[in-house]
Amino acid sequence: DIQAAAQKWIDSSISKTANVPTDFPFDEFKDIYLYAYESGLKGCTTFRFNPEVFQGVLVKETDLENTVYEFQLDDGSVVKLKGNEEVEYDGEMHTAANLYDALKEGYYGKL
């Protein structure tokens, strides 16, 4: 609302990033942009942590706690772990987030 109030005196742009959790429903996500449009904002930016595209980036501990990584085992079963949970793989301990990235990059083989 503050951005919308100041917007009419800004001739270029003004921005504030809306951080949303990984489990934020898509319909509510769309509402952020609709609200920005209806408020007359010239721009709107959102950030949603996505483990599929974020690799090697330092994130908040709460992002890791709230992000679930899925690992499919050779027998077809699926193991789900929070990003900050530790797991043993190939004789070494890893956080689920780091192991997911290492497997995705091919460091240990296929994910």
pLDDT at 110 over 70: no
At residue 79 the predicted structure's pLDDT band, cuts being 50, 70 and 90, is very high
Whether the CA torsion 96, 65, 67, 60 is positive or negative: it is: negative
pLDDT at 111 over 50: no
Q: What pLDDT sits at residue 85?
A: 92
Q: What is the pTM of this model?
A: 0.48
Give the separation between CA 66 and CA 11, rounded to whole angstroms. Answer: 39
Contact 40, 90 (CB under 8 A): no
- Between 1 and 71, where is the model more confident? 71
Q: In the chain, what percentage of residues exceed pLDDT 70?
A: 84
Six-digit token string for 17: 């990033």
User: For 7-57, what is each residue's pLDDT tens digit?
Assistant: 777 766 677 788 888 778 888 999 999 998 898 887 888 888 766 666 555
What are the sequence ranges of the domains in the chain? 2-48, 61-104
- What CA–CA distances, in Å, run from 59 to 21, 88, 91, 109? 13, 22, 26, 25
